[in-house]
Amino acid sequence: MNKSKKNKIIFLLISTMFLSCINGGIINAKEPIMEYKYTVEEQKVKRAQFIWTSSIESLRKDKIINDEEAKNINKYLKEEMKIELNKGKLNRFEHEKKALRVSTVDKMVNDSIISSEQGCLLKKKLNKYDISNLEN
């Protein structure tokens, strides 16, 4: 084998390896865009759930609401967040965000889950943390 043929074969092998590495990187780097939106929406819901839970727990520790009322509030929130399983993730997150808004406290007061004084204090606790991103 002469030197030029050997160089061509080496160049061809190196080029093939280089192109296969680039192609593999492109295939592995592709990610569905909608999955990212789900995780952002899910994080909003998880954060709001944590704020609600900690606010209710804080009011319970301060003896503003008792254990039974705290259970009723949590049960009410769970019922508000329920949605049919076949609706899809995005619809589920929208429904959960709607249920976790501060305006839900007014619904609880109207449905006699908590008193208006307790509702006012719960609203103050929830407004202390910014969950206005649920309005979007």
Q: Has residue 29 got a pLDDT over 60? A: no
Do 59 and 122 touch, CB atoms closer than 8 A? yes
pLDDT digits (tens, 9 = 90+) for 70-113: 999 989 988 888 765 556 666 777 888 888 888 888 999 998 88
pLDDT of 32 over the 60 cut = no
Report the Cα 30 to chain-centroid distance in Å.
22
pTM for the model: 0.66
pLDDT at 18 over 60: yes
Q: What percent of the chain has pLDDT over 70?
A: 76
C-alpha of 47 from chain center: 7
